[in-house]
């Protein structure tokens, strides 16, 4: 038997029924004990012991408060002994099993997103994230933001940083870089540097998609430019599941 708990709904309902008057935070729910009582109530109605329920897993879904929106609730959630600071440990259940008590705190103010992740029978997984990099634009903005005359970025490192700062548990599953490639006949040194950089990135697991630079008749007075990068990103992202 797996018990899936929509914590916010059960907490507020229980507080209104059994603790009317005091603040709801004074009447919290222990998901483990709640699951045990459910199993006991179910087994009490069963005459055939072969169909008795045993707890195998407990999953509690809730949304952590945002510090800026609700500092009081945020502070209570971070106090020692709270669900967010105390690791979940299996305890001996009323049925004799040792279920896995698991918390899935999703990043949402209160529990506004719980309805979207509360799926009985389906175990939530980490978000799978792919990062698409328009290299020329990213490098250009990096130089402007950090007042750098020259420099490059490390796509894989940048992608890992972006994923690590997401509010939801996430896993980086792909990094794709889109950029132009100089014509070796016109810009031999730049083309070799571009090829070496591409090889270095691909060695870290990055996928590099390049399009040949377009040279105007006035080149080199007018520099070459990238063409087709936006279309390549759009076509790839639309076909990515």
Q: What is the pLDDT of residue 240?
A: 56
Domain co-membership, 192 together with 218: yes
Domain co-membership, 65 together with 171: no
Domain that holds residue 58: 2-117
Q: Rg (Cα) of the chain, in Å, rounded?
A: 27
- Backbone dihedral angles phi then psi of residue 128, each to the nearest 5 degrees: -95, 120
Residue 193's pLDDT band (cuts 50, 70, 90): very high
Helices marked H in 45-187: 71-77, 114-117, 135-145, 155-164
Q: What is the pTM of this model?
A: 0.49
Residue 71's pLDDT band (cuts 50, 70, 90): confident
Domain co-membership, 113 together with 131: no
| pLDDT, tens digit, 9 for 90 and up, residues 19-31 | 777 777 777 778 8
What is the DSSP code (8-state) at residue 27? S
Domain co-membership, 143 together with 70: no
Q: Calculate the average pLDDT of the chain.
A: 78
Domain co-membership, 156 together with 102: no
In a domain, 122, yes or no: no
Domain co-membership, 103 together with 191: no
Residue that finishes a domain, picked among 66, 95, 117:
117
Residue 92's pLDDT band (cuts 50, 70, 90): very low
């Amino acid at each position: 038997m797996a018990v899936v708990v929509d914590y916010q709904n059960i907490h507020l309902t229980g507080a209104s029924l059994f603790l009317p008057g005091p603040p709801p935070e004074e009447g919290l729910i222990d998901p483990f004990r709640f699951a045990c009582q459910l199993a006991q109530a179910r087994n009490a109605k069963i005459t055939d012991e072969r169909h008795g329920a045993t707890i195998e897993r407990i999953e509690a879904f809730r949304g952590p408060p945002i510090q800026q929106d609700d500092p009081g609730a945020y502070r209570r959630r971070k106090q020692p002994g709270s669900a967010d600071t105390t690791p979940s440990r299996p305890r001996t259940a009323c049925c004799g099993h040792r279920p896995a008590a698991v918390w899935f705190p999703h990043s949402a103010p209160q529990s506004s997103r719980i309805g979207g992740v509360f799926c009985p029978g389906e175990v939530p997984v980490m978000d799978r994230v792919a990062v698409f990099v328009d290299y020329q634009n990213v490098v250009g903005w990096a130089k402007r933001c950090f007042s750098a005359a020259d420099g490059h970025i490390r796509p894989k490192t940048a992608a890992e940083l972006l994923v690590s700062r997401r509010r939801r548990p996430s896993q980086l599953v792909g990094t794709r870089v889109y950029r132009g490639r100089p014509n070796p006949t016109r810009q031999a040194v730049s083309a070799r540097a571009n090829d070496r950089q591409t090889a270095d990135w691909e060695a870290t697991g990055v996928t590099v998609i390049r399009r040949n630079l377009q040279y105007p008749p006035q080149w080199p007075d007018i520099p070459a430019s990238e063409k087709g990068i936006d279309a390549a990103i759009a076509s790839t992202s639309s076909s990515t599941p």
